[in-house]
């Protein structure tokens, strides 16, 4: 069975004063599970931030879902699920308020799945997330990430 690359990286480069990340050729095929392993400062977060176009590279040819990661950034992000280490939801928001925000962002928001996951993870829906433990925030991130489907 032929699989196409979901992520196709050619000549991705980012240089800082004391560090350089250089990826000459990387293809991650559909259905693959990939882990980034390395020492602190080895470029794992830099690589992910480059793929998300959060930081700019010096040179690059990157395609995600066959789309140019700079030119088609919005379309890619509608189809991408990412859970970052840090929580980026407003701390004053509740689970319900986060849902109202995300259903406006994602055209294929799955309200039923979100509620099922929130129930399964036993998360309070009216409490501000500033009162959540680290584990509860991770569960919330999973619920939010899994509840938007690919924009077809």
Instruction: Render pLDDT for 9-21 as a digit per residue (tens, 0 to 9).
Output: 999 999 999 999 9
pTM reported for the whole predicted model: 0.77
Instruction: Render pLDDT for 71-117 as a digit per residue (tens, 0 to 9).
Output: 999 888 888 888 878 888 999 999 999 999 999 988 889 999 999 99
What percent of the residues of the chain are helix, what percent strand, and what percent coil, each to the nearest 5?
Answer: 35, 20, 45
Torsion angle in degrees (nearest 10) through CA of 90, 96, 101, 104: 170
What number is the average pLDDT over the span 38-62?
A: 88
Task: Specify the residue for token string 């997330």.
Answer: 129
Reported as half-sphere exposure (CB side, CA atoms, 13 A), residue 61 has a value of 6
In this predicted structure, which of 50-59, 96-105, 125-134 has the lowest mean pLDDT? 50-59
The gap between the terminal CA atoms of the chain, to the nearest Å, is 23
Reported as half-sphere exposure (CB side, CA atoms, 13 A), residue 30 has a value of 6
Could you tell me if 13 and 59 are in contact, meaning their C-beta atoms sit under 8 angstroms apart? yes
């Amino acid at each position: 069975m032929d699989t196409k690359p979901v992520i196709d990286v050619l000549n991705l480069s980012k240089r800082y004063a004391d560090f350089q990340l250089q990826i000459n050729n990387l293809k991650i095929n559909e259905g693959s599970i990939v882990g980034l392993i390395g020492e602190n400062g080895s470029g794992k977060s830099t690589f992910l931030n480059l793929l998300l176009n959060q930081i700019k590279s010096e040179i690059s040819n990157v395609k995600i879902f066959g789309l140019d990661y700079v030119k088609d950034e919005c379309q890619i992000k509608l189809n991408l699920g990412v859970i970052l280490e840090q929580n980026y939801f407003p701390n004053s928001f509740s689970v319900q308020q986060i849902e109202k925000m995300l259903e406006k962002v994602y055209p294929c928001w799955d309200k039923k799945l979100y509620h099922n996951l929130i129930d399964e993870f036993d998360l309070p829906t009216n409490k501000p997330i500033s009162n959540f433990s680290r584990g509860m925030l991770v569960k919330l991130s999973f619920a939010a990430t899994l509840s938007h489907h690919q924009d077809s």
